[in-house]
Chain A
Amino acid sequence: MTAVVIAARELRARTRFFLLCSAFAVLPFLAALLSAARGDASTVIAMIGGSLALVMAFGSAVTLGANAVGHELGERRLSFYFARPISPAALWAGKACASAAVFLGAFAIIAVPAMLGAWDVWFNVWPVPFLVKACAIVIVTFLLAHALGTMIRSRSALIALDFLLAVVVLGIGAAALYPLLVAHAVQDAGAIAVACAIGIIVILAVAPVWQLANGRTDARRNHVAFARAFWPPLFVLVLAAAAYAWWIVSASPLDFTRVALLDMSPTGEWMLATGVAPGRGDYQPTLIANVRDGRFRRLAAPPYYGIAYARDGQTMAWMQPSGPSFDAPRELFVLHLADRRARPLATGIRVDGVPHFTLSDDGTRVAIADARTLAVHDLAAARLVASVPVSTFTTTSLFFATPDVVRLVGVDVGGTAGLRVSELDLRTRELRTTGELHAPVAPGIRASSDGSRLLVNTPLRVLDGRTAAVVADPRITAAQYSRAMLADGSFVVVTGAAKNARLSTFDANGAPGVEVVLPGVVRAGVSAELPAHRLVLTSYTPGQFAATGKGTRVFVVDLQRGVIEHVIDGVRCPIGSEWNGADPRARIVPAGMPLPAVDEAGKLILVDPATGARRAFPS
């Protein structure tokens, strides 16, 4: 009741302001009358009316925020209220509510006539969500103006402390949100930001009660009391937000309930998993984990632009946006897997567009091809080794044919250029075309382990890895669903059947070998090549994104004998390089190395291809 009495007094004191607003409400109509564009009078009314209303609302919010309490506090007239039976809560509520009525009333007085006068265009010019946000911002502006007014009016050294604390709070907030934004967890970041904003508004709205209850008529004590009511809860809020953000990004391999993409290093020692963990919103944890000992490192973001491993398995590289915006230039990151304490290392190498990149076999160099150039960097020395212009292709595969030669295989999918093989000699820094195939080629180049053979599709052909000359043309007529070149240059094709897919092998010259029926599956892809001509295949359902092993079947096939050694149900092994590595060369997973997989529950597991046994990861 007391608050109402105070609010009524405050409103009565601002009667002239309402009259001024009423005068301003006429201006949009006058402007429409005087405007040359009379045919568009509604737009003029809406534009001027809305703008004036917002300006008056913002202006009055700032003024009232700084002065509703601060003016009387500064002039030592707040004692008038404190000498009367008025509680601090009633005093603040009365003044704040009256202020809100003033600045929202000012908006309404100017905006409503303009809205009615320009009803046909008003909501196009000023959409309701925009106006709601604007009103919210006006309220926050009022509260912030009060906070700043209280601080500044005290004229004490505490202002410097406030500034310092504000910087710390902003720093904590930015540090909390940055990992989420880099990981493109926009919903998570947005939810935290909105929760913090609501919390800050509540703190800003409540802190003045504490301020007046404890500071009362003294400006400096008001400042101290406000600071005590404002900063501690704000720190609790921001630290809680930071803790939640930290929890989101601290997922471990055990937390996965779906693994969207799974990959393994050339030596099979490491697996890269991106998926979903419960309670973490749209954040997708991305972990590189050692299959032997379970240790893992987190990547800041899923490697949307592909991943590259050195052939020795000791180094991996990937691209991620260099800032929280998805449109930021991509930066190359490197992780030295052999170093147990190594952290992802930003190289400072940035590119625009969608790059293709590969590491040298020893991981000391990286070759990056974007739409215009092929550049090779020495990672250890952090210097550019060579940079040459290249033609634009739809897809590009590249690898270090030798430590000093980068081979580039460009495919013009659907175009007339077909396929072109080029080599960049790092000693001469010269890019030379070594071969071309002037025929349609589908994306998805595969190569033998040494790069001497290329497997291309539509139609399926084996090409010389350097000259692109056709080495074999097996002329397969059955519908193929997947294919893979093996390390020795031989290749396999999975063709479809009504219920059972069929695996066919071919030698390096395209001569057919054995055929193996893969029972109970329609389609399957090659997951891994094992020593002694053994192959691991995983079934898949077309058009269905498998994030778990539910309904999936893994086969371990002996290609020499043409028999299936093991069938493992309810398990999904990665098919090919799920993160689209640019190096097309085949690799053999060493003997005894378990394969990464996902079980029916979406959990990471390991599969022993020798026995078909599965075990939890980390065990």
Chain B
Amino acid sequence: MSDARPDIELSHVGIRYGRRVAVDDINLRVARGSVYALLGRNGAGKSSLVRALLGQLQPQHGSIALFGEDVWRRRAQLMERVGVVAEETDAPPEMRVRDLGRFCAKLYARWDAAAYDARIARFEIEPLARYGELSKGQRKQVSLALALASSPQLLVLDDPTLGLDVVARKALFDEVIVDLADRGITVFIATHDLAATESIADRVGILRGGRLVLDEEVETLKARFRRIRVADPPAALAHANLRTTAVRQWGGGTEAVVSNYDDLALAKLGNVAEAAAMSLEDIFIAVAGEAEGGQS
């Protein structure tokens, strides 16, 4: 992570709804120009964290800063520099696509009307269509066009592909990637869409039960996670100082996900049959889905 001041900085953030803890003591930094993917199962606390990140929800504990400023106190000013694609399409349904652009143009100092119109055209959305009449994918696309037309320094995407088909997902992420390449903006994505995220994320965090159980560079993460198959019993993995999860019997031996893989440790095991690299999705499933029953 860069030494420069991060665009996003969460410090000991805790969010509760009554007695229910949604987010528990989260510390997180997102460097300028990076793409951060926050992963988590339903109810893990992603949306609460995003709402807090956008200054829409005040955490009971901790602080959240965007560009070094407290987002709860300075939300209105900070939103000038932040583009948001919300999980739920929230624009007024009676507004026409064109009018949404005109409305937002009056709110932002650096509004790029041409870029908005160009994206709407690229998405093949009728400018005079009412927002409420659009398909879910189109509404997401309009939201993205609105978010990017404000020339943001930070783009926050809250489950942007939720409910979208494969084509719509690709179109949406392609647009983000193009913009990333153009301007190098910071991106924070809370998502289920691991496949799409894997290609653009620099760093990933995994929320489980409101806690950030993993926060790491994607490459490092992928380097230390392996799915291994050995002819030895599970105890042998522990003797080799390998932290495992999702351990299960594999023929006469053991299959497990190793979260601190290195070649030397593996060399201690004599009967390694296979050590396969894992996709982000596999790692997520191992960490967020099965880890509760795993070993360490």
A interface, CB within 8 angstroms of B: 1-2, 5, 9, 12-13, 72, 76-80, 82-88, 90, 214, 216-218, 221
The smallest C-beta distance from A97 to any residue of chain B, in angstroms, reads 16
A82 touches B94 (CB 8 A): no
Instruction: Answer whether residue B79 sits at the interface, using C-beta atoms and an 8 A cutoff.
Output: yes
Instruction: Answer whether residue B26 sits at the interface, using C-beta atoms and an 8 A cutoff.
Output: no
In the assembled complex, the Cα of A214 lies from the Cα of B77 at a distance in Å of: 16
B76 touches A76 (CB 8 A): no
The 18 listed contacts between A and B (C-beta, < 8 Å) are: A2-B106, A5-B103, A12-B99, A72-B92, A76-B90, A79-B51, A79-B84, A80-B92, A82-B55, A82-B56, A83-B86, A85-B108, A86-B76, A86-B107, A216-B56, A216-B57, A217-B51, A217-B56
B interface, CB within 8 angstroms of A: 51, 54-58, 75-77, 79-80, 82, 84, 86, 88, 90-92, 94-95, 99, 103-104, 106-108
The smallest C-beta distance from A229 to any residue of chain B, in angstroms, reads 15
The smallest C-beta distance from B185 to any residue of chain A, in angstroms, reads 16
In the assembled complex, the Cα of A79 lies from the Cα of B106 at a distance in Å of: 18
B79 touches A79 (CB 8 A): no
B92 touches A84 (CB 8 A): no
Contacts of A216 in B (CB 8 A): 55-58
B77 touches A85 (CB 8 A): yes
Q: A82-B56, A83-B56, A83-B84 are in contact. Are A77 and B91 (CB under 8 A)?
A: yes
Contacts of B57 in A (CB 8 A): 216-218, 221
Contacts of A86 in B (CB 8 A): 76, 79, 107
In the assembled complex, the Cα of A478 lies from the Cα of B95 at a distance in Å of: 95
Count A-B pairs with CB separation below 8 Å: 72
Contacts of B92 in A (CB 8 A): 9, 13, 72, 77, 80
B94 touches A79 (CB 8 A): no
Contacts of A78 in B (CB 8 A): 90
B103 touches A87 (CB 8 A): no
In the assembled complex, the Cα of A2 lies from the Cα of B92 at a distance in Å of: 17
In the assembled complex, the Cα of A13 lies from the Cα of B56 at a distance in Å of: 25
Q: Among the listed A84, A87, A90, which residue makes an inter-chain contact with B104, where contact means beta carbons less than 8 Å apart?
A: A84
Q: Among the listed A12, A76, A77, A82, which residue makes an inter-chain contact with B54, where contact means beta carbons less than 8 Å apart?
A: A82
Q: Among the listed B58, B82, B90, B106, which residue makes an inter-chain contact with A80, where contact means beta carbons less than 8 Å apart?
A: B90
Contacts of B77 in A (CB 8 A): 85
Contacts of B88 in A (CB 8 A): 76-77, 79
| Residue of A1, A9, A84 with most chain B CB atoms under a 10 A cut-off | A84
In the assembled complex, the Cα of A57 lies from the Cα of B224 at a distance in Å of: 68
Question: What residue in chain A is nearest B85 (Cβ atoms)?
Answer: A83
Contacts of B91 in A (CB 8 A): 77, 80
In the assembled complex, the Cα of A118 lies from the Cα of B292 at a distance in Å of: 80
B94 touches A13 (CB 8 A): yes
For the complex with contacts A13-B92, A83-B54, 8 further pairs of A-B residues with Cβ separation under 8 Å are A9-B95, A79-B51, A79-B84, A80-B92, A86-B76, A86-B107, A88-B76, A214-B58
Question: What residue in chain A is nearest B78 (Cβ atoms)?
Answer: A85
Contacts of B58 in A (CB 8 A): 214, 216, 221
Contacts of A88 in B (CB 8 A): 76
In the assembled complex, the Cα of A512 lies from the Cα of B80 at a distance in Å of: 104
The smallest C-beta distance from B150 to any residue of chain A, in angstroms, reads 8
What are the 4 tightest A-B residue pairs by CB atom distance, in nearest-first order? A83-B84, A80-B90, A77-B90, A85-B80
In the assembled complex, the Cα of A77 lies from the Cα of B58 at a distance in Å of: 18
Contacts of B90 in A (CB 8 A): 76-80, 83
B79 touches A85 (CB 8 A): yes
| Residue of B75, B77, B95 with most chain A CB atoms under a 10 A cut-off | B75
Contacts of B103 in A (CB 8 A): 5, 9
In the assembled complex, the Cα of A471 lies from the Cα of B209 at a distance in Å of: 108
Question: What residue in chain A is nearest B104 (Cβ atoms)?
Answer: A84
In the assembled complex, the Cα of A348 lies from the Cα of B258 at a distance in Å of: 90
B107 touches A84 (CB 8 A): yes
